[in-house]
Amino acid sequence: MRAVALFKYLPIEHPESLVDVELPAPTPGPRDLRVQVKAIAVNPVDVKQRAPKDKVETSPRVLGWDVAGVVESVGAEVKRFKVGDEVFYAGSIVRPGCASELHLVDERIVGKKPGTLSFAQAAALPLTSLTAWELLFERLEVARDASDVLLVVGAAGGVGSILVQLARRRTALTIVGTASRPQTVQWVKDLGAHHVIDHGLPLATQLKALFPNGARYAVGLTQTDRHFVDLAELMAPEGKLGLIDDPKQPLDVMLLKRKSVSLHWELMFTRSLYETKSLEQQGRILDEVSALVDQGVLRTTLNEDLGPITAATLKRAHALIETGHARGKLVLSGF
């Protein structure tokens, strides 16, 4: 099967940073689906996994954790899906990625692809929807009737683009998103944010100008090292702060003590990494996202389909993500 892989961890502009390879088709385990990959989305985690370092792989390493495709064969104990089903999923960080014609995934973390979306439109959603859903409804435990203020830092990015929709459509929260450019400001408003403030300027001053009592909920989706002091400043007493990125510096959690603000981490790979008891919840979340899309409640966050899944197009996607100014999701489709 065709695939895009790496052997060395190189800057993206290096000719060998990602290469086209032929690999043997993988054999499904008992709970695995073997999926014919139709489209994939690219995420900052791909870029982080590919980050330059001295390590050299002895066999080709495939990256990619966002898929829409068709079940091609199933393991002996698979119950939820059958050959021919259209699916979407993020997969597991400790298994080979999805930039290959065939891909294995545990059925428990797979959802039914929204019937109203193309494969490219569907591939934009799984990883970021799982992150946003788990963060809002499981880590922060936001209730359906919650009517407080939610700040979303990095609202036009992949995660923000679905999180803003979920918050707007599934809660009564007042949403303040951050964006720094006219096209991302408009994108965030179109997704459903009530207000947009600029993450290039101090966040606490702007948030408190709108809501003097601060934000009951805030999610720092990116650049947390830059914003953490401001986040502590703008939180309402007894507020809840959620984080998902990889701050390079230690965070001073003591800044949260005086207001009894609680800090919540979300990593959408935790369930598959540790095979937690709640692993199957990821399949349920994706099915619910799929239903909400088909009901017209949520829309795809696809911004651009860059074309076929080749080393050349994947390199383009990585380079665009590396700018830190992605809007919605970048997708590759077909081989």
Tell me which residues touch ligand NAP (CB under 6 A).
43-45, 48, 127, 131, 153-154, 156-160, 178-181, 184, 199, 221-223, 226, 244-246, 266-268, 321, 324-327
Of 74 and 330, which CB lies nearer to ligand NAP in the complex structure? Answer: 330
Token look-up 């994947």 returns: 314
Q: Give, in degrees to the nearest 5, the angle at Cα 285 between 283 and 290.
A: 95
Of 102 and 185, which CB lies nearer to ligand NAP in the complex structure? Answer: 185
Of 74 and 243, which CB lies nearer to ligand NAP in the complex structure? Answer: 243
Phi, psi for 68 (deg, rounded to 5): -125, 135
The C-alpha atoms of residue 301 and residue 330 are separated, in whole angstroms, by: 9
Closest approach of Cβ 116 to ligand NAP, in Å? Answer: 23
Closest approach of Cβ 167 to ligand NAP, in Å? Answer: 14
Of 116 and 223, which CB lies nearer to ligand NAP in the complex structure? Answer: 223
CA separation, residue 239 to residues 142, 151, 156, 160, 315 (Å): 11, 11, 23, 20, 40
Of 104 and 127, which CB lies nearer to ligand NAP in the complex structure? Answer: 127
Of 71 and 268, which CB lies nearer to ligand NAP in the complex structure? Answer: 268
3-state helix, strand, coil in the chain (%, to 5): 30, 30, 40
Closest approach of Cβ 252 to ligand NAP, in Å? Answer: 18
Handedness of CA 334, 42, 64, 315 (dihedral sign): positive
CB within 8 Å of 146: residues ≥ 6 apart: 171, 172, 173, 216, 217
Closest approach of Cβ 198 to ligand NAP, in Å? Answer: 8
Half-sphere exposure of 60 (CA within 13 A, CB side): 22
Phi, psi for 64 (deg, rounded to 5): 120, 125
Of 4 and 268, which CB lies nearer to ligand NAP in the complex structure? Answer: 268
Closest approach of Cβ 124 to ligand NAP, in Å? Answer: 11
Closest approach of Cβ 29 to ligand NAP, in Å? Answer: 24
The tokens describing 233, both together, are: 């400043």
Of 28 and 158, which CB lies nearer to ligand NAP in the complex structure? Answer: 158
Closest approach of Cβ 77 to ligand NAP, in Å? Answer: 28
The C-alpha atoms of residue 240 and residue 139 are separated, in whole angstroms, by: 9
Q: What is the DSSP secondary-structure string of 1-30?
A: -EEEEEEEE--TTSTTSSEEEE-PPPPP-T
CA separation, residue 154 to residues 41, 135, 200, 223, 327 (Å): 18, 15, 11, 8, 10
> Which residue's beta carbon is nearest to the bound ligand NAP?
157
Closest approach of Cβ 34 to ligand NAP, in Å? Answer: 25
